[in-house]
């Protein structure tokens, strides 16, 4: 597992909450991983490329990128359709916490 890249993804998510969306692989954890690695998320298959860059299995990638597979403590707090800056910021904090949990637990 590429924990350095995951830590950078976590940092970028909290630095750019408006750019994070769980609904699009180009702007979710996968997209942020691709961008953090210096690639253009719009030019590659982020879902596949992120798995390679992060050195994780397909199942781990799914658990990290798909909201319905997140642990319940993150899933229930995340607003899938944020309507204001406060919700965007909160979602970014929750996503960053999810990445931290992933680094620690591997799932």
pLDDT digits (tens, 9 = 90+) for 14-69: 999 999 888 887 888 999 999 999 999 999 999 999 999 999 999 999 999 999 99
What is the tally of structural domains in the chain?
1
Structure tokens at 37: 């690695």
Cα(44)–Cα(96) distance, integer angstroms: 23
- What is the tens place of the pLDDT at every residue in 74-97? 999 999 889 999 999 999 999 999
**Report field, pTM of the whole predicted structure over 0.75:** yes
What is the pLDDT at residue 24? 81
Neighbour count for residue 87 (Cβ, 10 Å): 14
Range of the domain at 66: 3-105
Q: Which long-range contacts (CB under 8 A, 24 or more apart) does 79-82 make?
A: 80/22, 80/23
Cα(1)–Cα(73) distance, integer angstroms: 23
What is the pLDDT at residue 26? 81
Q: Which residue's entry shows tokens 């992060």?
A: 54
What is the pLDDT at residue 80? 87
Q: What is the CA radius of gyration of the chain?
A: 12
What is the pLDDT at residue 25? 74
User: What phi and psi values does residue 74 have, to the nearest 5 degrees?
Assistant: -95, -40
């Amino acid at each position: 597992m590429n924990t350095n890249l995951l830590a950078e993804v976590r940092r970028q998510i909290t630095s750019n909450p408006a750019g994070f969306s769980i609904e699009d692989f180009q702007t979710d954890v996968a997209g942020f991983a691709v961008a953090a690695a210096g690639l253009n998320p719009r030019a590659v298959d982020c879902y596949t490329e992120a798995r390679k860059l992060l050195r994780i299995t397909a199942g781990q990638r799914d658990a990290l990128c798909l909201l319905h597979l997140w642990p319940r403590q993150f899933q229930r707090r995340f607003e899938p359709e944020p309507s204001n800056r406060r919700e965007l910021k909160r979602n970014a904090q929750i996503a960053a916490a999810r990445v931290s949990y992933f680094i620690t637990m591997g799932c």
